[in-house]
Amino acid sequence: MNPSAPHACNILVVDDDTDVLLAAEVVLKKHLRNVVTENDPSRLPELLRSTSFDVLLLDMNFSAGVTSGQEGIDWLNAVHRLSPDTKVVLMTAYGAVETAVKAMKEGASDFVVKPWDNDKLVATVAATMRFSQAARAVKDLKSKQHVLNRDTGRGGEIVGRSPAMQRLLAGIGKIAGTDTNVLILGENGTGKELIARAIHQASPRADEPFVHVDLGAISESLFESELFGHKRGAFTDAKEDRPGRFEVASGGTLFLDEIGNLSMQMQAKLLGALESRTVSRVGSDAPIAVDARIICATNMAPEDMLDKQQFRQDLLYRINTVEIRVPPLRERAGDIPLLVRHYAERFARKYEKPDLEIDAATLEKLGRYDWPGNVRELVHAVERAVIMTDGAALTSAEFLVEKKHASSAEELDLNLEALEKRAIEQAIAKHRGNMSKAALELGLGRTTLYRKMARHGL
């Protein structure tokens, strides 16, 4: 017997005969490190909640004088409810083999006859353990795929020829081949996730997972479960074992977006995982080694990250071995015509409006607009223009940016929704993407601000 995974070494033996327990322990401990014995089956629920057992060797009769085997079948059904991943091998006397076969139809993996042959016992446990290990591996892969499926189809192309973008791309080329931690700074909508994906795709980890975590969207109560995973039964909705994002990203890249949104308590928990390079699922004390490259991003201003009241300095030192700043669109205005054409072609294909053109006057007007929502705002504006146009060319009439330049009361859109959207855009632009300061100026909580931005498509 040669278990290949750390968790594949937990065996539980339950029998009311202490001689049987001693014999099983002596035989199995020659091959396995973790063999637990118990003579009281009523402790099964407690044991299964506290430890993840791969194989349970279970007697079929416990009460004095009882030989029907029904007790074993009842406990077998209880184990299936309490710990579905635990495989059960029943122990039965020679005359009750028919009952044991019946129990296998109820879900038992195998049975051994007492008194057993030692080699037969070891072979049966080994085979059952391999089956348990394979079943766990399949389940873990399905869980990981479920997490990865939420992150598919979110890639894109970096568009830009301005000096600022050329410097950014050169920086990506220098760090991609290393495993160093990276902190990406930039206002909302500048494309920080796109930069993180570009680093991953150019790295030796490109064939492994890229896992995106929006920390701004995770509540404090779910933080550990989302990042570190949980065991079945760890809390009310934990109906099965689930790997956290750290585990899913192991071997690849973990992108922690909006890291500036974490409370000091969550920052401390994250720091612990980064320092130890291990995580423990909620409901378990067993550490799991993880090997993921960490890329973080935030719209916090650098001076705010140096404020000890807002951000732990030991965490900052851990995540910003290399720091990259993504320039706002107003600092690379020369890229605006290129971006507009790029996304106009994409949306023209999507909405089956081929051969759409953009006149020079429209491009010139779009180039003068300061785009407080950055590339994200530009993409939404272009998509809307493509949808709304009835002609063969996009003109300034299809874009709403002119309204945002209005300076007189007659030109202003006084719709409350429009006013709120404009106030949010102006606050974000004023504070250069610092969401905490923008929310403070608007008299909103940061969570409320994010919710309103999502509603307005910002």
Same-domain status, 121 and 244: no
Residue 94: the pLDDT is 61
Checking if the pLDDT of 312 tops 60, the result is yes
CA–CA distance from 238 to each of 87, 225, 230, 402 (Å)?
20, 9, 7, 51
- Tens of pLDDT, residue by residue over 116-172, are 889 889 998 988 888 887 777 766 665 655 555 445 445 567 899 999 999 999 999
Residue 411: the pLDDT is 45
Residue 406: the pLDDT is 42
Checking if the pLDDT of 389 tops 60, the result is yes
Residue 1: the pLDDT is 52
Report the CATH number at residue 221. 3.40.50.300
Domain boundary among 325, 354, 372: 325
Report DSSP state, residue 282.
B
Same-domain status, 415 and 439: yes
Same-domain status, 120 and 167: no
Question: Average per-residue pLDDT in the chain?
Answer: 85
Angle between helix 435-442 and helix 446-455 axes, rounded to 10 deg: 90
Residue 4: the pLDDT is 41
Residue 347: the pLDDT is 92
How many domains are contained in the chain? 3
Which residues are CB-contacts of 394 (< 8 A; sequence separation ≥ 6)?
Answer: 344, 356, 357, 358, 359, 362, 385, 386
Tell me the three state secondary structure of residue 210. Answer: strand
Same-domain status, 39 and 97: yes
Evaluate whether residue 1 is within a structural domain: no
Same-domain status, 168 and 263: yes
Same-domain status, 271 and 192: yes
Same-domain status, 24 and 110: yes
Same-domain status, 11 and 126: yes
More confident residue, 190 or 130: 190
Evaluate whether residue 147 is within a structural domain: no
Tell me the three state secondary structure of residue 243. Answer: strand
Same-domain status, 108 and 208: no
Evaluate whether residue 154 is within a structural domain: no
Evaluate whether residue 158 is within a structural domain: no
Evaluate whether residue 234 is within a structural domain: yes
Residue 194: the pLDDT is 94
Q: CB of 259 within 8 A of CB of 298?
A: yes
- Tens of pLDDT, residue by residue over 238-261, are 888 889 999 999 999 999 999 998
Which residues are CB-contacts of 114 (< 8 A; sequence separation ≥ 6)?
Answer: 20, 91, 92, 93, 94
- What's the domain range around 227? 163-325
Q: What is d(CA 225, CA 218) in angstroms, rounded to the nearest whole number?
A: 10
- Decide: residue 37, CB within 10 A, 0-12 exposed, 13-18 middle, 19+ buried: middle
Range picked from 148-162, 266-280, 388-402 for highest mean pLDDT = 266-280
Same-domain status, 182 and 258: yes
Q: What is d(CA 179, CA 159) in angstroms, rounded to the nearest whole number?
A: 25
Same-domain status, 319 and 174: yes
Q: What is d(CA 97, CA 69) in angstroms, rounded to the nearest whole number?
A: 10
Which among 130, 93, 95, 94 is positioned nearest to 109, based on CA atoms?
A: 130
Which among 90, 46, 49, 87 is positioned nearest to 72, based on CA atoms?
A: 90
Report the CATH number at residue 11. 3.40.50.2300
Domain boundary among 306, 325, 344: 325
Evaluate whether residue 428 is within a structural domain: yes
Same-domain status, 224 and 361: no
Evaluate whether residue 373 is within a structural domain: yes
Domain boundary among 92, 108, 140: 140
Which among 55, 12, 83, 10 is positioned nearest to 233, based on CA atoms?
A: 83
Count CB atoms within 10 A of the CB of residue 316. 19
HSE-up of residue 369 (Cα within 13 Å, Cβ side): 28
